[in-house]
Amino acid sequence: MIDDFAKDNLHGRLRRDRQALLWKLDDLSDYDARRPLTATGTNLLGLVKHVATVEARYFGEVFDRPSPEPLCRWQDSDGSDQWAAEDESREEIVGFYRRTWEHADATIDKLPLDAPGHVPWWPEPYTHTNLFAVLVHVLGETIRHTGQADILREGIDGRTGLRAEQERPIDEEARAAHRAKIERAARSATR
């Protein structure tokens, strides 16, 4: 009974955060979706592509259910899953993510939480694991990258939040006053 509750709860949160990550692309130009927004090149479309690759590997290879999507061998990964090349459209990357969801969801639905898995890129003695541990791990990765996307999107146009229906109009004056209050506190604390 608790296994079903835990699995449904974790899977539901994963589904929620997948949608939130994709929402960060809404109404953005191709340039804003792709452009590097940190010193290391982190960008919104790259985060989507990376999380799709993470799900494809963890809910595919780990449980001997290879993704139907073409992936390089994990040993050959070169970081190209973290940004969109010129010849990759937003639609292709979002489609890859959505198809990966379907495959991952089928794995999650089919297997019990204690189903054994093998993560060859994890260090020993952790390579042998189970669906529960992988589900928690991938949820953590998705939450982490969705949080990064939230901050990046805020830097582009000020939009924040988890879902469109919870978004409130931006009050630039109130935001500026709040930021100024925090800045004053930071300066005051360092005197």
pLDDT in tens, 137-175: 999 999 999 999 999 999 999 988 877 777 777 788 888
In degrees rounded to 5, what are phi and psi of residue 112? -75, 160
Whether 1 has a pLDDT exceeding 70, the answer reads: no
Residue found under tokens 């992988």: 134
Is there a contact between 3 and 128 (Cβ–Cβ < 8 Å)? no
pLDDT in tens, 118-146: 999 999 999 999 999 999 999 999 999 99
Cis peptide preceding 125, ω within 30 of 0: yes
Q: State yes or no: pLDDT of 178 exceeds 80.
A: yes
The total number of residues written for the chain in this structure: 191
Residue 90 structure tokens: 């937003």
Taking a C-beta distance cutoff of 8 angstroms, is the pair 55, 141 a contact?
Answer: no
What's the pLDDT score for residue 131? 97
d(CA 90, CA 92): 5
- Specify the pTM: 0.91
